[in-house]
Amino acid sequence: MASKHSDLPLGVHEGTAEFPPSGPVYKLYKRRFWGLAQLVLLNIVVSWDWLTFSAVSTTAAEYFDVSESAINWLSTGYLFAFCVASPFVIFTLNKGGPKPAIIVTSSLLLVGNWIRYAGVRANGGIFGLTMFGQILIGLAQPFCLSAPTRYSDLWFSDRGRTSATAVATLANPLGAALGQLINSLWATEPDEVPDMVLYLSIMATVASLPSFFIPAKPPTPPSASSATTKTPLLPAVSQMLKTLEFWFILIPFGVYVGFFNSVSSLLNQILSPHDFSETDAGIAGGILIVVGLISSAILSPLTDCYKHYLGTIRILVPIVAISYIALIFAPSSPAGIAPSYIIMAILGASSFGLLPVVLEYLVEITYPFSPEIGSTICWTAGQLLGAIFILIQDALKANPHANPPLNMCNALIFSAVVACVAAPFPLCIGLFGRDVRRRRLDIDRGMNLDEVQEERIEIASGGEITTAGTEYRQSRFGLGFGFKFP
């Protein structure tokens, strides 16, 4: 449980922070960076594997002698596999912590890659066996993609959590960027597809081996909130799903992650009708992600320093929505590929800057629920919607007689409309008299959990009480969200 003292320091530095004799000692360990580096490596490889074939969809379709829609299913099946694995991910992270999840990721990544390579190499390409290997890799992804918030909560203090979450989480789209850029260079002809898959299988093997040697948890917790006993799994899930603010985050998170997945998978098909090459599409995907990583590298440390989670969300969400509107017009612009590159840069900067801030803010406002619960549910929504969006946008592709043939203008209109519908939800957080607090940060700054619960009216039975001259209507579900009356 948290310390009973109210004079905890605002942050924890390398070494120890000593309290009165009855108080705990919190310490940051340098070994925390080993596990973080392994999470980064796995997220890069697993995401690179996701876009193995979509980055060269035309070439891959020719190699397997199937349609581009069939190649899209290699990405879509991967996303559905994420959803199937999600309940096991929550249980693994909640009961065992990050290390078992990392080991599961590595094991599935190894097996899936080599099965996929066998499918590509055997008899000139066996599409069904390749799909099976791809699905196994899809089952691996949620174990490492949902782990960063749990890992940063376990190993880092409030001065570094957002940055740690950003580094590990955004390694995933970095892998997608590398896949977009490098795969299109590795497989310029159909007969080069098996070699491309072989290279990725070797990379996956090298990346997976260190997983078995990283430490499971620190000897002592890094902060007061890390030492606090979390709410049991099933009550936490039940209460979270009944909380309005959670849905205000879940809906736009799922929509925007879903469209990132679909646009990344279909980018070549979005640009190719306008006479742009697979290499142009690869560069566009690379710009989307590289600029996004730079944006996040700037915003995440600032958020760690100033804790302006909600303000950052309110600024970036409208930019994301506007970017999807602009994407309708960019591919057909008479200015050539440049407008598409610019829109990809703006979309990447806003989306990736937003991602770790939202994940950490969700942990803050749902504390003392364990971090992996909210993040896994949000990621599952994003992957599920991504798979659905790929199918819908593929169905909205124009016919071969359109001008230009097979253009995806209607698909891009669909993405813009849905992105705009999702935008108001996070903007409503904290409005209409609802009072939302960064509860985990309160604990790290010295408040006892019982004091936070008392101040936020944490009685599950309902009613009204007066605290410090202010009346509050009680938050029914114990998350500290309630209506405030003067």
What are the residues facing 484 on neighbouring strands?
A: 472
Q: How far apart are CA 338 and CA 345, in angstroms?
A: 11
pLDDT band at 471 (very low <50, low <70, confident <90, very high): very low
Widest CA span in the chain:
79
**Is pLDDT of 257 > 60?**
yes
Letter for the amino acid at 388? Answer: I
User: CB-based contacts of 231: which residues, under 8 Å, 6+ apart?
Assistant: 239, 368, 369, 370
pLDDT band at 449 (very low <50, low <70, confident <90, very high): low
**Is pLDDT of 13 > 50?**
no
Residue 177 backbone zone (phi > 0: left; psi -120 to 50: alpha; other: beta): alpha
**Is pLDDT of 189 > 80?**
yes
Counting Cα atoms < 13 Å in the Cβ hemisphere of 355 gives 35
pLDDT of residue 9: 43
Instruction: Spell out a b/e string for 385-407, using b for 16 or more CB atoms within 10 Å of the CB, else e.
Output: bbbebbebbbeebbeeeeeeeeb
Residues of the chain with CATH 1.20.1250.20: 27-434
Q: Which of 114-128, 239-253, 262-276, 445-459 has the lowest mean pLDDT?
A: 445-459
- pLDDT above 70 as % of the chain: 87
Q: Report DSSP letters for 134-172, one per residue.
A: HHHHHHHHHHHHSHHHHHHHHH--TTTHHHHHHHHHHHH
Asked if 42 and 102 touch (Cβ cutoff 8 Å), the reply is yes
pLDDT digits (tens, 9 = 90+) for 408-437: 999 999 999 999 999 999 999 988 777 788
pLDDT digits (tens, 9 = 90+) for 303-331: 888 888 899 999 999 999 999 999 999 99
pLDDT digits (tens, 9 = 90+) for 14-46: 444 444 445 567 888 999 999 999 999 999 999
Q: How far apart are CA 334 and CA 24, in angstroms?
A: 65
- pLDDT above 90 as % of the chain: 55
pLDDT of residue 396: 95
Pairwise pLDDT comparison (247 vs 444), residue with the higher score: 247
User: CB-based contacts of 15: which residues, under 8 Å, 6+ apart?
Assistant: 27, 28
User: CB-based contacts of 230: which residues, under 8 Å, 6+ apart?
Assistant: 236, 368, 369, 370
Q: How far apart are CA 119 and CA 130, in angstroms?
A: 5
pLDDT of residue 485: 28
Quick check: helix, strand or coil at residue 26? strand
Burial grade of 164 (CB within 10 A; 0-12, 13-18, 19 or more): buried
Of residues 241, 233, 224, 153, the one with CA closest to residue 479 = 241
pLDDT band at 451 (very low <50, low <70, confident <90, very high): low
Tally Cβ neighbours within 10 Å of residue 294: 15
Asked if 113 and 204 touch (Cβ cutoff 8 Å), the reply is yes
Which superfamily does CATH assign the domain made up of 27-434 to? MFS general substrate transporter like domains (1.20.1250.20)
* Sheet with strand 470-473: strands edge to edge: 434-435, 482-485, 470-473, 464-467
Average pLDDT over residues 130-144: 94
pLDDT of residue 448: 62
